[in-house]
Amino acid sequence: MKLKLLFFLTTLFFVNANAQNYIFGKVTAEDNSEIPDVTVINIRTDERAITNRDGHFMVSGRVGDELRFVKSGYERLVKKVSKENIESSVSITLERATILIPEVEVKQGMTGDLKIDSKNMSRSKKVEKLVKDIDQYIAQKSDPRILAAKAGEFVQPKGEGFSIGRIKDKWDDIDLAGYLKTALGEEYFTDLKIEKSQVDHFISYVLAGGFERKSILKYGFCSDADLYRFQRFVLTRVSSYRAPQTQR
């Protein structure tokens, strides 16, 4: 009888110790304003949640878990879950990321007018010669007589061809992918369990999944809202990307 009672108490303790709970909280900035679209990651379970427009979130976890809070433009923060965090709401404050502005050297005699200053600034003889040689090389390579097809040579028929952006667009998909890779940072894709060598392919996979980007490509500008929209779209595509090739 005593052995059965001991076994029961041990089992009950183990279940309680490993029970999953829900952690509720709110994410704000240093000025106490709510921050929406923050990605909350339980590092142990890899479960993810995104804060709503009021900065609130809910994610399952237990005491001892570590929650990571990620949002572009803010410093990343890791919070270890305590017993108090299970029993009451968690308050998280994110700090703005520091942006380093490169130092600009201002030479004496500059007026501030780009047209005037560009004319007044003299280039060295070596630079002048290099520019001249490059212009001459390009002119030679662009000569219609060089580009013309030789007798009997196959000529590709004219047609629409393949384009990843309209001619009037300032960006194409390659430009956008490069910006997303830089703006989100390597750690963002590491958190998604995307290997460094697969980042470019993964971004192309997400874009091909129907991410709306006409305005971004047209003006060559990706706003914070567009960046958050891309992050939300990623969460709908990352699972299928991890699946075997035959299931995609």
Task: Give me the average pLDDT of each 10-residue run along the chain (248 residues).
Answer: 46 50 93 95 94 94 94 94 90 86 60 61 70 72 54 49 62 93 92 92 93 93 92 92 62
Classify domain 21-94 by CATH architecture: Sandwich (2.60)
Burial classification of residue 189, based on how many CB atoms lie within 10 Å of its CB (0-12 exposed, 13-18 middle, 19 or more buried): buried
Pairing of strands 21-29, 90-94: parallel
pLDDT confidence of residue 129: 78
pLDDT confidence of residue 217: 93
> Which distant-in-sequence residues (6+ apart) come within 8 Å of 197 by Cβ?
none
pLDDT confidence of residue 156: 52
Q: Whole-angstrom Cα distance, residue 82 to residue 37?
A: 24
pLDDT confidence of residue 130: 76
The pair of three-digit structure tokens given for residue 95, joined into one six-digit string = 């700090």
pLDDT confidence of residue 97: 86
Q: Whole-angstrom Cα distance, residue 55 to residue 86?
A: 18
Domain range summary for the chain, segments of one domain joined by +: 21-94, 173-238
Do the Cβ atoms of 39 and 69 come closer than 8 Å? yes
Q: Whole-angstrom Cα distance, residue 63 to residue 23?
A: 10
pLDDT confidence of residue 221: 93
